[in-house]
Structure 1
Amino acid sequence: MDAKDLLRIIDDGENAELECKAAKGGLPKDVWETYSAFANTNGGIILLGVEQKGQEFFPVDVDAKKLVKDFWDGINNPQRISKNILVDRNVEIVEVDGKEIVKIYVPRASREDKPIYIGHNPFTGTYRRNYEGDYKCTKEEVQRMIADQSPIPQDSKVLPNYGLNDLNMESVRSYRNRFSSLKPDHPWNGLELKEFLYKIGALGRLRETNEEGLTLAGLLMFGEERSITEYLPQYFLEYREKSSDVPGERWTDRIISSDGTWSGNLYDFYFKVIRRLTDDLNIPFQMEGLFRKDDTRVHAALREALVNTLAHADYYGQRGIVIEKEKMLFRFSNPGVLRIPLQQALKGGISDPRNPTIFKMFMLIGLGERAGSGIENIHLAWKEQHWTAPELIEEFQPDRTILTLRTTSLLPQESVDFLKAVLGKHYKFLTNDEVLILVTAHQENYVTNTRLQSLTDKKSDEISKLLSGLVEKGYLEPNGQGRGTKYTLTEMFHQKSIGNSRYNRISSGPNVNNSGPNAANSGPNENEQTKDHEKVLLDISELARKKKRLNPSEMDEIILNLCAIKPLTLKELSQLLNRQMDPLRKKYISRLLKEGKLEPLYPEQINHPKQAYMTRSLFTNQH
């Protein structure tokens, strides 16, 4: 890493994958909390020799070589930290402006190594990371990490006090019928019920006592909801569907495991939900010879997503499984984080399901592909339709994995038109890959190398060259370093975005003068007023766009002045101020709301899709 790259990291400030420490008095004691937090979350970078003043960060004088020695001494001391997962190349000294900074890259620990903790007690020394910094894990979080260490899958556990009377026999009969229809010559078809259940993993025996009982997989797959929740109180399945994109509209269809009208088990839930997910798919049918094939790759992808959700869930975790279907998206959410790194999961080829027996049961009736191919198949299906690439994320407190499948076009016409309007004749010189990158940055507010790997079939180094080329052309601005670098559209795009209402994605929030049912009849005065507002917003925010480092009080004043003109969304403020949304929310918006200087436009619905912010005086005048 060179000084230029490190300066980008410092300018971007602290986030979920970056921690800056002044270290003027030597190695900070809380460096071990950050090491634990990064290792137990998604990895990150620690910078020693960087001081925070207000909301800005600056290199300071430190004894870098001593810091490095003390760090290696500490991390290799089992009395200090449970395990060292670093190698030599993870720690380096970089010179910036004549000052030496120690950069420590902490990778995500494997599930076998988690939790990484301070001292001797994982329940008091384990940390994780969020946007607020390092936090001490709860007893439940540590227990889940310890449980994931085991090479024995959680769903193979034998429950000696559970037997056939805890199963819904209609579910079992249905499963056997599907199995025999798919595999009519299979030798298991002639087995007695108990032997069949034993073969598929639904029944097990404790070898020490020869005691027989349902496995956890058998209980979850075929059990009655009451029996399941007696063992797993947190167990809950939910499907909800909304047929329009009108904000605030209630769900038009909903299934929950606890309503008493059906078994509530995984097997029946799958078939209740998959029909609803695929009922109205607007996908052209395919032909096999002279025959029509209604089952497309998208149908298969949705089946794969649903099976993966059920097979990867941590059924001891909180909030249960939630499947959502809206007009332009499908969302699959389950308790528990991934057992392999997120980047590895996105690449496919390797899988580590939390419940391999449940996965096997679905595969035996033709549902679910070989381990590791699920995400790959879903990506192929979405790419075939030219839809936005699937998004897979992890959340913590509580642990959740969320897969979102959007059926929006990969190259929305509004973004293509926007690029053409800004670039003019230069647009035609862009390659298809460059257009995709700029469109993604426009649609999602920024783009990363990792995100582009999921959108294209290109490798990381190829994408890096494309991104560097767009930076050199003045189209993208990098923030951060390495895998954490976020590339945003440059100032030339911000000016056009705000100055031209036709392509203005940030001016569609509440209280825009030319919106509403009478927009078509708005007169010249209204249009002139809108342009005046846009010019004022640009003038007020000009200093923030030009200057990367501002005194917090200066930024506060700019934000309050902007929100006094009209209510502004977080995305609007991000574009006006040329700042990333997450740090902007964390450092300024949340604080100004707490101080009562800003008010939300929709105070009764904080997560309203059109939530915007205005100064308190504006709020008072309008109400």
Structure 2
Amino acid sequence: METSQGPLDEVVARLRVTSTDLAQIEVKAAGGGLPKDIWPTVSAFSNAEGGLIILGLDEKHRFAVVDGFDATAIREAVSNGFRPRRSDEGAGPVTPRPIGSVDIAVVDDAPVVVVDVEALPAGQRPAFVTSQGKEAGTYERVGDGDRRMSTYGVFLLSTNVEQPRVDSEPVPGATLGDLEGALVERFVARLRRRRPRSVAGLASVEDILERHNVLASDGATPTLAGLLALGRYPQHFVPQAMVTFAVYPGTAKDVFVGEQRMLDRRVIEGPIPAMVEDVVRAVLQNIQVRRVVAGAGARDEPEIPELAIREAIANALTHRDYSPWALGDQVRVELFPDRLEIANPGGIWGGRRVVDLFSGTSRSRNAVLSALLADVPMLNSEEAVSENAGSGIPAMTGALGRSGLAAPRYVAHVTDLTVVLDRHGLLSPETGDWLASVGATDLDADLRRTLVLVHRGYAVDDQVLRAQLAMDSADAKQVLRRLVDDGWLQFPRRTDGAYRPGRRLDGVLRDQVALFPHADVRGHAPGSIDDRIVNALVNEGQLSVRAIAERLDTTVGALRPRLRVLVAEGVLIATAPPTSRNREYRLSSRR
């Protein structure tokens, strides 16, 4: 049986090797009936990227099947929790109604119930246990368990598609005198030079500042955006709207080198243009510089490009959450021997995911601040703090790629977002050792670089490769297709998702072989459902979804998501629209 986490037999093998639940896989014995704690897990999976629940296996006994497990009754009980409610019925166990499939499968010749939970659309979150209410009943997945989400997290999920207005609100107690006169003067001059229509008919500076939301409608009180962008010392009113900078001697915060826990520590304050420049300066003072030959001369280049550092910190300060829930936290810039991390409060706003950040489109949590910073100059140049055009992350990625470094890696949670910039190149001695350990040293350089990106946890798709490896989209798709065909990668789970490690990069099983030498986890697994779909069409030429399901001995529901992905990736061609009864599939000639 195919699941969102792979074939069920492979999922069970992985669980038995690791002897624990996993981040997106939860197992419950359910020998005495449907456990109540299934609904917090459904809530947690619905609020993230989805996940798999298997009922009828006993974690305490190495995930053996449970004697006397009533699969039919359990399936009915779970299905009842997922079904739509009539208007005269009360809400189900989880609100809003969860999305997913519930089916009976066979493990070790015994029935189990498989619940494949899909992520709820951003506009419908949070999913919460109805009887506990939204505040106490919203859960998130942490490691292999479910944890009640913080009030702040619930607030962020509830407002994730509503445009925040906090940056346009006046700051109590602030006056025009709290703005930096010289910076305001340069800002107004830039507007008159570059955007004359935006100041047309306005005689006074105050009128210009009000029109551009630096001042509130009273024409006298700075807005939060105006204070952050043009203030003398915004931290007088919002003390934590600052940056903390730290340099650590080891690869983790708790690593000491001798008596040293930190090599450098600074608090960086002021308006955003000043903080951006000061952070860039602090990072450059603490990283290595290399000498690069350029034509007849040579120049010094930092190991992380200055452009990438500047864009990363500008993005963090522009898009962090400035709501009252988050104003007790600051942006954190932390330098380790192998990487630079920049973390800001507030996850990815607007219902987007990590892979969407590389699309080159702009969507701002703080719309007023973002627009303002596109016209606010840096302290020591006429360049604006940001472009507000979605170009920041592509520019970072390009600068890193030209220096032989990996694309920026984003680690997103509901309440925070961290961008990681590597200090060392993709094909280093360390990554060379890893490539040798998986048998990939003979692959072409672009294929090896792609595998290293995946190995490091990057969300890789053709857009990331295009920027990172300086190739066009068609070539990037071809690289990914070759890696899929050879078993190194798998196609995304969704049409707009990232590629996943394939059977030859199954790190969990590979790493566990040495720990469990007698565990049979390295045998030849059957081909993935994508491989079997392709093979069926190679043999038959053109088939409907029901015909494919019959040949693969699976369900139409399990097939449809994979067919959507394969069509999106150009592997298959659909012969009719999705709503047509005559819709069939055949292989693309580009395959």
From the superposition, tell whether residues 133 and 326 of structure 1 become closer, same or farther in structure 2 (CA, over 3 Å). closer
3-state SS of paired residue (2:321): coil
Alignment of 1:165 onto 2:194? no
From the superposition, tell whether residues 9 and 234 of structure 1 become closer, same or farther in structure 2 (CA, over 3 Å). farther
Per the alignment, residue 333 of structure 1 pairs with 343
3-state SS of paired residue (2:128): coil
Per the alignment, residue 511 of structure 1 pairs with none
Any conservation in 2 of the 1:32–1:118 contact (CA below 8 Å)? yes
Counterpart pick for 1:466 among 480, 483, 488: 483
Between the aligned partners of 1:244 and 1:319, the Cα distance in structure 2 is 24
Alignment of 1:213 onto 2:221? yes
- 1:267 Cα offset (Å): 2.9
3-state SS of paired residue (2:53): strand
Per the alignment, residue 601 of structure 1 pairs with none
1:547-584 CA-partner distances (Å, limit 9, x unpaired): 169xxxxxxxxxxxxxxxxxxxxxxxxxxxxxxxxxxx
From the superposition, tell whether residues 224 and 59 of structure 1 become closer, same or farther in structure 2 (CA, over 3 Å). farther
Between the aligned partners of 2:281 and 2:116, the Cα distance in structure 1 is 50
Between the aligned partners of 2:506 and 2:148, the Cα distance in structure 1 is 40
Per the alignment, residue 78 of structure 1 pairs with 91
Per the alignment, residue 528 of structure 2 pairs with none
1:198-249 CA-partner distances (Å, limit 9, x unpaired): 23321122xxxx6863222122223354x6454x464332234569989544
Alignment of 1:456 onto 2:465? yes
Between the aligned partners of 1:492 and 1:152, the Cα distance in structure 2 is 41
1:504-554 CA-partner distances (Å, limit 9, x unpaired): xxxxxxxxxxxxxxxxxxxxxxxxxxxxxxxxxx9xx856144169xxxxx
3-state SS of paired residue (2:486): helix
Alignment of 1:2 onto 2:8? no
3-state SS of paired residue (1:544): coil
Counterpart pick for 1:544 among 511, 516, 531: 516
Any conservation in 2 of the 1:197–1:203 contact (CA below 8 Å)? yes
1:386-430 CA-partner distances (Å, limit 9, x unpaired): 21232100246xx2210011131111134436655885xx954x3
1:5-34 CA-partner distances (Å, limit 9, x unpaired): 112223333222222233445543322212
**How many residues get paired?**
475
Between the aligned partners of 1:169 and 1:59, the Cα distance in structure 2 is 73
Counterpart pick for 1:436 among 439, 442, 449: 449
3-state SS of paired residue (2:244): strand
3-state SS of paired residue (2:394): helix
Alignment of 1:391 onto 2:409? yes
3-state SS of paired residue (1:54): helix
Between the aligned partners of 1:181 and 1:251, the Cα distance in structure 2 is 46
Between the aligned partners of 2:206 and 2:91, the Cα distance in structure 1 is 49
Counterpart pick for 2:13 among 11, 17, 33: 11
Between the aligned partners of 1:151 and 1:307, the Cα distance in structure 2 is 20
Any conservation in 2 of the 1:389–1:410 contact (CA below 8 Å)? no
Alignment of 1:377 onto 2:395? yes
From the superposition, tell whether residues 241 and 222 of structure 1 become closer, same or farther in structure 2 (CA, over 3 Å). farther
Letter in 2 for 1:12: R
- 1:284 Cα offset (Å): 4.8
TM-score with structure 1 setting the length: 0.63
Letter in 2 for 1:392: Y
Between the aligned partners of 2:60 and 2:310, the Cα distance in structure 1 is 50
Q: Which range moves more in the overlay, 263-272 or 235-244?
A: 235-244
Between the aligned partners of 1:492 and 1:83, the Cα distance in structure 2 is 36
Residues 384-533 of structure 1: pairs in structure 2 closer than 5 A: 384-395=402-413, 399-416=415-432, 419=435, 427-428=441-442, 430-436=443-449, 439=452, 444=456, 450-451=459-460, 456-457=465-466, 463=480, 466-467=483-484, 469-470=486-487
Any conservation in 1 of the 2:164–2:366 contact (CA below 8 Å)? no
Per the alignment, residue 534 of structure 1 pairs with none
Between the aligned partners of 2:309 and 2:203, the Cα distance in structure 1 is 32
- 1:269 Cα offset (Å): 1.1
From the superposition, tell whether residues 16 and 251 of structure 1 become closer, same or farther in structure 2 (CA, over 3 Å). same
- 1:322 Cα offset (Å): 1.4
Percent identity between matched residues is: 22
Letter in 2 for 1:54: K
- 1:100 Cα offset (Å): 4.5
- 1:434 Cα offset (Å): 4.3
Counterpart pick for 1:314 among 312, 321, 345: 321
Between the aligned partners of 1:58 and 1:182, the Cα distance in structure 2 is 73
- 1:115 Cα offset (Å): 2.4
3-state SS of paired residue (1:203): coil
Between the aligned partners of 1:355 and 1:270, the Cα distance in structure 2 is 17
Per the alignment, residue 373 of structure 2 pairs with 362
Residues 174-193 of structure 1: pairs in structure 2 closer than 5 A: 175-176=187-188, 179=190, 183=194, 188=199, 191-193=203-205
Between the aligned partners of 1:199 and 1:286, the Cα distance in structure 2 is 47
Between the aligned partners of 2:79 and 2:284, the Cα distance in structure 1 is 59
Any conservation in 2 of the 1:346–1:454 contact (CA below 8 Å)? no
Between the aligned partners of 1:422 and 1:135, the Cα distance in structure 2 is 36
From the superposition, tell whether residues 341 and 144 of structure 1 become closer, same or farther in structure 2 (CA, over 3 Å). closer
From the superposition, tell whether residues 136 and 355 of structure 1 become closer, same or farther in structure 2 (CA, over 3 Å). same
Any conservation in 2 of the 1:23–1:48 contact (CA below 8 Å)? no
Per the alignment, residue 564 of structure 2 pairs with none
- 1:321 Cα offset (Å): 0.5
Residues 159-308 of structure 1: pairs in structure 2 closer than 5 A: 159=171, 161-173=173-185, 175-176=187-188, 179=190, 183=194, 188=199, 191-205=203-217, 213-225=221-233, 228=235, 230=237, 232=238, 234-241=240-247, 248=257, 249=260, 251=262, 253-257=264-268, 264-277=270-283, 282=290, 284=292, 298-308=305-315
- 1:123 Cα offset (Å): 1.4
Between the aligned partners of 2:57 and 2:507, the Cα distance in structure 1 is 32
Any conservation in 2 of the 1:80–1:119 contact (CA below 8 Å)? yes
Between the aligned partners of 2:183 and 2:78, the Cα distance in structure 1 is 61
Any conservation in 2 of the 1:344–1:350 contact (CA below 8 Å)? no
Per the alignment, residue 568 of structure 2 pairs with none
From the superposition, tell whether residues 43 and 108 of structure 1 become closer, same or farther in structure 2 (CA, over 3 Å). farther
Unaligned ranges ≥5, structure 1: 258-262, 498-537, 550-623
Letter in 2 for 1:103: V
Q: Which range moves more in the overlay, 272-281 or 304-313?
A: 272-281
From the superposition, tell whether residues 175 and 255 of structure 1 become closer, same or farther in structure 2 (CA, over 3 Å). farther
Any conservation in 2 of the 1:157–1:215 contact (CA below 8 Å)? yes
Any conservation in 2 of the 1:319–1:335 contact (CA below 8 Å)? yes
From the superposition, tell whether residues 67 and 235 of structure 1 become closer, same or farther in structure 2 (CA, over 3 Å). same
TM-score with structure 2 setting the length: 0.66
3-state SS of paired residue (2:36): coil
- 1:194 Cα offset (Å): 1.6
Instruction: Please tell me the root mean square deviation across aligned C-alpha atoms, in Å.
Output: 4.7
Alignment of 1:119 onto 2:130? yes
Any conservation in 2 of the 1:198–1:204 contact (CA below 8 Å)? yes
From the superposition, tell whether residues 133 and 417 of structure 1 become closer, same or farther in structure 2 (CA, over 3 Å). closer
From the superposition, tell whether residues 420 and 30 of structure 1 become closer, same or farther in structure 2 (CA, over 3 Å). closer
Between the aligned partners of 1:28 and 1:74, the Cα distance in structure 2 is 21
Any conservation in 2 of the 1:167–1:222 contact (CA below 8 Å)? yes
From the superposition, tell whether residues 39 and 173 of structure 1 become closer, same or farther in structure 2 (CA, over 3 Å). farther
Alignment of 1:32 onto 2:49? no
Report the structure, 1 or 2, having the larger helix content.
1
Between the aligned partners of 1:140 and 1:419, the Cα distance in structure 2 is 42
